[in-house]
Amino acid sequence: MDLIAYLIDHAERGVPAEQVPCVQKLSTAFACPYEYITSIGWAVRNDHHIPSDIVLGQYGQSEAEQKFTYFQRKYPTLNWLMTETYELLPNYYGKQTYFIRKALAYRSPVVAGNGWFAVGNTAGFTNPLISPGMNAGIETAFLAATLTGEVLDVPGSQREEVMMLRAAKYQSWTHDYMMSCLQQMNRYWYNMFRDHRLFEALVPCFWATGVGAVEDIQFQRDSEFTSADLGWVVGSGLDRFQEFAKVILNILEPPVEGSTLTDEIIAQIQNLSQECLLERASQFPANKWGSYLRKYDNQLQRVPGKRQRYDGGSWFATHCVECNIWIHDKIIVCPVCGTRQSTGAEEPVQVCGPLRPRRVALPRLSSGVFFIFALSAPAIMVLVSVILERAGLRYKLL
């Protein structure tokens, strides 16, 4: 039996996760060596132009290497991270160390038909910012699986007819609704990067109307994915976010390159932001934003001098006590090294730790395999939105 068959067999037999041998043991047993690496790329806005007086040749050989290194060196923190905390793995996947992609964003015009549904990235791609890809991918997979079940439930003679009805439903939800919502969210983010004051005003509104638009932002962590979650779309699918984003985009778009934002426009956005946050705080008083954010209170108001989270935050990710890999905080046995965790996690665990040189290896990300430094400031143009360029590198943490 090979490794894949072995794991599928365990899943079929309902073996609890903690009883499945850890990665290290599986690797030895099945002679499958592995190492954790991280792929790193910059996702650059398509309205960014490298200044004409910059000689890219000084940054490397290929276009991808030159552009990657240009952005790395431009920002001292990036440069520090790349030089002090990572070891470059040349030609890791073949002959190329650096590569570049253009025009990543797309929406497949047809996403379902007789006998098939396109899920995940095959349906479309907006950007890698705030993780819509995997979340939306799960939503499409969930919907496709549900609809497939409905098709299989009817007698064979009716299947084609039902399939086409379900395909139309899927097409409408995925193509018309989900991708539109994500695209609107993309524009919302894209516009806020035009000025740091917009960024400060609009990010909390996204949290308040999208991501955490529930009585308690904890609500989702223990529940199963259900059809109700299909309306979330990483926050972009919620009515209040869509309404708010529409108002904001009516003011800020079109973001003509080089156009200057006036202080009046920014003040208008700041006022709308305040109204939105106060409205949401009164609607959802139980939210504990201040327990998750170091500088904000529970109403998502910035508190001068606040540098620590309030007590009471409940996290969903932690490090393995032995190998330090990120794991879900409810995991009993580390899936990588097999070490039993101290559950109940009275120890504070962090969703995001401070940046520091690390000697542990991070897990390789999904097949997306790109680790994006989300440097969310307008002055830093390596942020993601409509993507034109991407340079990817394989690195190992030192």
Ligand X SMILES: Cc1cc2nc3c(=O)[nH]c(=O)nc-3n(C[C@H](O)[C@H](O)[C@H](O)COP(=O)(O)OP(=O)(O)OC[C@H]3O[C@@H](n4cnc5c(N)ncnc54)[C@H](O)[C@@H]3O)c2cc1C
Closer residue to ligand X in complex, CB, 40/293: 40
120 contacts ligand X (rule: CB under 6 A): yes
Least distance between ligand X and beta carbon 372 (Å): 5
Residue 121 touching ligand X (CB under 6 A): yes
Does residue number 255 form part of the binding site for ligand X (CB under 6 A)? Answer: no
Q: Which stretch binds ligand X (CB under 6 A): 9-17, 134-142, 193-201, 236-244?
A: 134-142
**Strand stretches in the chain, DSSP E:** 38-45, 86-88, 99-101, 106-107, 112-113, 116-117, 124-125, 317-319, 326-328, 371-372, 387-397
Distance CA 341, CA 21 (A): 15
Burial of 42 (0-12, 13-18, 19+ CB in 10 A): buried
43 lines the binding site for ligand X (CB under 6 A)? yes
CB of 39 to ligand X, least distance (A): 8
Angle at 81 between CA 76 and CA 85, to 5 degrees: 150
* Identity of the residue, 124 or 335, whose beta carbon is nearer to ligand X in the bound complex: 124
CB of 84 to ligand X, least distance (A): 23
Give yes or no for residue 339 binding ligand X (CB under 6 A).
Answer: no
Query: With respect to ligand X, which residue has the nearer C-beta, 182 or 333?
Result: 182
User: Which position among 151, 167, 372, 393 is part of the footprint of ligand X (CB under 6 A)?
Assistant: 372
Instruction: Using the rule CB under 6 A, give the single segment among 67-75, 209-217, 262-270, 365-373 that binds ligand X.
Output: 365-373
Distance between CA 99 and CA 93 in Å, rounded? Answer: 11
Site for ligand X in 22-41 (CB under 6 A): 41
Contact call for residue 98 and ligand X (CB under 6 A): no
Which of 61, 227, 342, 366 is the binder for ligand X (CB under 6 A)? 366
Q: 275-283: long-range contacts at Cβ-Cβ below 8 A with a sequence spacing of 24 or more?
A: 276/205, 276/208, 276/209, 276/244, 277/204, 277/205, 277/208, 277/301, 280/208, 280/209, 280/213, 280/240, 281/208
Stretch that binds ligand X, among 109-117, 189-197, 290-298, 368-376 (CB under 6 A): 368-376
Applying CB under 6 A, does 135 fall inside the site for ligand X? Answer: yes
Peptide bond into 285 cis (omega under 30): no
User: Contacts with ligand X: how many residues (CB under 6 A)?
Assistant: 17
Taking CB under 6 A as the criterion, the residue among 368, 375, 376, 380 binding ligand X is: 368
The region of 89-97, 107-115, 128-136, 257-265 touching ligand X under the rule CB under 6 A is 128-136
User: Considering the rule CB under 6 A, would residue 134 count as an interface residue with ligand X?
Assistant: yes
Q: In whole angstroms, give the CA distance from residue 321 to residue 315.
A: 16
- Cβ-contact 259, 252 below 8 angstroms: no
- How far is the C-alpha of 20 from the C-alpha of 22, rounded, in Å? 6
State residue 394 phi and psi, 5-degree precision.
Answer: -105, 130
Does 363 participate in binding ligand X (rule CB under 6 A)? no
**DSSP state, residue 306:** -
Site stretch for ligand X (CB under 6 A), options 273-281, 285-293, 309-317, 360-368: 360-368
Interacting stretch for ligand X, rule CB under 6 A, among 46-54, 105-113, 237-245, 367-375?
A: 367-375
Give the relative orientation of helices 196-206 and 179-192 as an angle to the nearest 10 degrees: 150
Angle at 178 between CA 177 and CA 179, to 5 degrees: 100
Which of 37, 65, 128, 334 is in the footprint of ligand X by CB under 6 A? Answer: 128
Per CB under 6 A, 231 contacts ligand X: no
Contact flag: residue 316 with ligand X (CB under 6 A): no
In the block, tokens 């540098």 appear at 307
Q: What is the DSSP string of 39-62?
A: EEEEEEETT----TT--GGGG-SS
The angle that helices 239-252 and 263-283 make with each other, rounded to 10 degrees, is 170
Contact residue for ligand X among 61, 83, 131, 342 (CB under 6 A): 131
List residues binding ligand X (CB under 6 A): 41, 43, 104, 120-121, 128, 131, 133-135, 137, 366-368, 370, 372, 390
